[in-house]
Amino acid sequence: MTGRRKVAIVLMNLGGPDKPEAVQPFLFNLFNDPAIIRIPNPFRFLLAKLISKRRAPIAREIYAELGGGSPLVPLTEAQGRALEEVLADQAAAGKIEAKTFLAMRYWHPFADEAAAQVKAWGADEIVLLPLYPHYSTTTTESSFKDWMRAAGEAGLKAPVHVVCCYPTEPGFISSYAGLIRPALEEAGGPEKARVLFSAHGLPKKVIEDGDPYQAQVEQSCAAIVKELAIPGLDWQTCYQSRVGPLEWIGPATDKEIERAGAEGKALVVVPIAFVSEHSETLVELDIEYGKLARESGVPAYVRVAAVGTERGFIDGLARLVLESLNNTGVLCPEDAPGHVCTAERAIAGIS
């Protein structure tokens, strides 16, 4: 007997299709989520079928730019390995044994697969660690609810610790600051460049209903600017990936790129809400918005990488894991403005 606690860390993200034929079912799973399309069944099911069928050809073209599928799963696996290595060095002098498991929301590996693996491994405790730094009902809460269902069906009884969100976690903030500094120099220096923090958008109605996502995104941007400590830095928070007829939060990233071109401003673009590369960064930001920047006359367009396996970010995740193990229930930052934590409700009944 080693006396070590076996801690399963469940890394949560949206997932992505791994091959062209997975694109349409991935889209169906996305749009059939009641957190995304908020109408009752059977109407949501029918609408999800219609939207996924119509959008699949365009989406397949997008993923063709990435070799036919999303790189999100292998990149998340790399983050998991890096986190295990840090925890092996830091985790209470060897008193815990940590292992990471992936639970993707809309394509494999699903929460059901992760729950079965966690049970087979014999975890003593479970930490739910969303790879969404900013809490949203459309991402974090949806993943928590999905885990609740999967864990119940798998018969998991181990105590559960939950990391709600981490918009100002020092490692997350310092990692992005460290990536932005050389990008600013590549773009001609702070006096010539504007930093665009680009996050995935949401319909305004979602925010008006109390979702804290936008407030937390803007909190992260302000914290990074403070960490950079560059006097007079020109920066702007904006939102990408707008779809459908609803009014979305803004300003829109594409409009900010056009504005920069009109003003002769170079751009440093930071994917603030994405911790891994995927279609929104590698295709939308790099290819589509890169083209828009050239057509708009932007003097320089430099895209900052997602934090990925940056050591500061991984160290920050390790701190969150260790802190959550000393916390009952949900670990939630008390200073996040506008954040009313609904994670307790989302995970009720899984431990």
Binding site residue list? 200, 280
Instruction: Please name which of 61, 327, 35, 60 lies closest in space to residue 203, comparing C-alpha atoms.
Output: 35
Cβ–Cβ under 8 Å, residues 277 and 236 = no
Contact 76, 131 (CB under 8 A): yes
Binding residues for Fe(2+): 200, 280
In angstroms, the Cα distances linking 97 to 86, 111, 114, 316 are 12, 21, 17, 18
Contact between 75 and 279 under an 8 Å Cβ cutoff? The reply is no
Task: Report the chain's C-alpha Rg in angstroms.
Answer: 20
- Give the C-alpha separation, 114 to 8, whole Å: 10
Name the nearest CA neighbour of 84 among 116, 129, 122: 129
